[in-house]
Every structure is written in C-alpha cells, then in structure tokens.
Amino acid sequence: MACNGGMMAKMDAPKRAEAGGARSLLNDEILDQFGGNRELIAKFEELLRVGLGRELANLEQALAAGDGELIVRAAHTIKGLAANLRVAEPGDLARDLEQSRRAGHPEEDGHASFARLRLACLRVLESEEVES
C-alpha cells in the first residue's frame, strides 16, 4: 500500500486539531526528558508524524527498486525519529531492518518487514499516548 498524500493529510496536526482528533505521544517519561517543555515536545511530535510518513514512502520506494542503501538510510531515519520520543516498536523494527541490510543478510521478504514497520508506525500516528 502506497504512502501518499492522504496519509500525510491524516498526519497534519492542525487539521486533526480542528476535527477534534489531535493526539499526543506525551507521557511522564517524555515530559521529564524534555524538561516539561510541552511546546518542544509538540514540535518533536510533529517532526515524528511527518517524518514517519515521509520515510515510510522512501522505504517503500527503496524496496520496490531493490536499493539496499536507500533501505538502510530510510530505516535508520525511522529509528532516529522514534528514538527522539522513545517510541519503541517502530524504532526496534527499523533497527532490525537496518542491521539486517547492513550485515548483508537481507530477509527473504523485505516487504514483510516493511508491512510490520508500517503498521507499527500507523499505530503511533493514531495513538494518544505511547508507552516506552
């Protein structure tokens, strides 16, 4: 399934807020990590939401093209985005995909890893709060 403009619009925080669907990844651990600065957390949340959509699209294109270098780059970026707000599941799946490709042991079906990673990212994008 392609990651397209529809998904990006779904992640647009101002539009979600207008519709009453704004969601937060905020939890006590994140609040402590950012020194209680809710404005900074909101900026990182938006970077995460937009970045996940962008990198999922990049990863899907890289898999379709069989471009191992771009697969590693997109997986690494997703891992970093997830780490900023301690979002474990997509970060772990992205790390596993990245490490597998770097080690020269790509899975038989990279599309299965992509599907699991995409679902994990979608859960993050649609959740109010993510436990680490």
Q: Running along the chain, 132 residues long, what does each successive block of 10 average in pLDDT?
A: 35 36 61 86 87 93 90 95 89 92 74 90 73 38
Quote the pLDDT of residue 25. 62
Closest CA to 102 of 74, 58, 69: 69
What the chain holds in terms of domains, given with CATH numbers, is 7-126 (1.20.120)
CA distances from 101 to 3, 23, 93, 122 (A): 22, 33, 12, 23
Closest CA to 111 of 53, 56, 69, 41: 56
Quote the pLDDT of residue 14. 35
Quote the pLDDT of residue 54. 94
- 69 burial type by CB count under 10 A (0-12 exposed, 13-18 middle, 19+ buried): exposed
Query: How many residues comprise the chain?
Result: 132
- Start-to-end C-alpha separation, the chain: 27
What tokens appear for 109 in the block? 């079906």
Quote the pLDDT of residue 69. 92
What tokens appear for 114 in the block? 């992509």
- 5 burial type by CB count under 10 A (0-12 exposed, 13-18 middle, 19+ buried): exposed
Closest CA to 13 of 4, 23, 1, 5: 23
